[in-house]
Amino acid sequence: MPYAKLIVAALAAAGIAGAFYFKQEPDAEQIKRDIVDSFHADPVAFDLEGAVERLAAIRLEGEYPICAATAEITGQQYVEISGLVDQYQSQIRGLNLALNTALSGEGISDCDYRVLMLVINDHRLNARAGSSAGSLAAPIPADRT
């Protein structure tokens, strides 16, 4: 009988430890997917600031932020995002509005840029795969977030 109590206590402790282990880091790919899905659900009401906060909360290796909400993008990135928005604005409803929202502050932050790139790259992947927007046709590439 004493062994049964010991086994139950050990299993309970393992369950608690396992729960803490799995709750430590949010799933970065799921957060990115949720951001893109939120954009596609209602591009006009898309909360860019909220998306930026969610993306900025992602940590690589538990400590390095995936983007910098306070750092402005480079001139080259301004040219790149402007060209991409011009190219895809007729295909991605609300993309121009999202860019204008990002520009309404003190410039486009690194996180603003990465959120916009998530939406653009999702469109590119889905267009290549021949699927509809918002589908899970392919993961969003980590190097372009």
pLDDT digits (tens, 9 = 90+) for 18-50: 444 444 556 899 999 999 999 999 999 999 999
Residue 15 lies in a domain: no
Residue 37 lies in a domain: yes
Q: What are phi and psi of 64, to 5 degrees?
A: -95, 120
Q: What are phi and psi of 30, to 5 degrees?
A: -70, -40
What's the mean pLDDT in 45-70?
Answer: 93
Distance between CA 58 and CA 64 in Å, rounded? 8
Distance between CA 14 and CA 9 in Å, rounded? 9
Residue 62 lies in a domain: yes
Residue 95 lies in a domain: yes
Residue 56 lies in a domain: yes
9, pLDDT greater than 60: no
Per-residue model confidence (pLDDT) at position 30: 94
Provide the domain limits for residue 125. 26-144
Residue 12 lies in a domain: no
Count of domains for the chain:
1
Residue 43 lies in a domain: yes
Residue 129 lies in a domain: yes
HSE-CB of 93 using CA atoms within 13 angstroms = 12
Per-residue model confidence (pLDDT) at position 78: 96
Cα 116 to Cα 4, 6, 33, 51, 72, distances in angstroms: 56, 54, 13, 10, 14
